[in-house]
Amino acid sequence: MAEELLHKHFVPYAPKKGEEYMNSKQLAHFRSILDNVKKELIEDIERTVHTMQDEATVFADPNDRASQETDIAIELRNRDRERKLIKKIDEALGRIDSGDYGYCNSCGVDIGIKRLEARPTATLCIDCKTLEEVREKQVAK
């Protein structure tokens, strides 16, 4: 759901030759992406709340009631994921304000425009993220 929102609202940034990384235009581009995704997520959450209130029906049939409860549980789980994504978006917006956006939290190198457009809340460069995933797999064994 969030990935769908992300890719339908923006034109990919085309950096000019010799352009400084994370200049004001790039930061404005990513702020716009993050703001739009956050706005869409909040609207979706509000829509879900209103729908759940409107559709609060008590079914006499236990199977219908169980089906409704399952649907509600799935919907609430999705909204919880979206709430966590909103928190990550707020953190990314904070990094834009502080001047840390676009740089790896682990090694400090540029994360890269393409990676940030694919995942604007990314905090690790692709190399550090790959190492983190390898470590997670080793610990999980």
CA 71 remoteness from chain centre: 23
Cβ contacts of 132 within 8 Å, gap of 6 or more: 124
**Domain membership flag for residue 8:** yes
CA 65 remoteness from chain centre: 32
**Domain membership flag for residue 126:** no
**Domain membership flag for residue 14:** yes
What CATH number does residue 32 fall under? 1.20.120.910
Q: What is the pLDDT of residue 1?
A: 47
Radius of gyration, CA atoms only, the chain: 19
- The domain tally of the chain equals 1
Token representation of residue 131: 């190492």
How many residues are given for the chain? Answer: 141
**Domain membership flag for residue 16:** yes
Q: What is the pLDDT of residue 103?
A: 98
Calpha distance 56→83 (Å, rounded): 22
Q: Which residues of the chain have pLDDT under 50?
A: 1
Q: What is the pLDDT of residue 135?
A: 94
Q: What is the pLDDT of residue 5?
A: 53
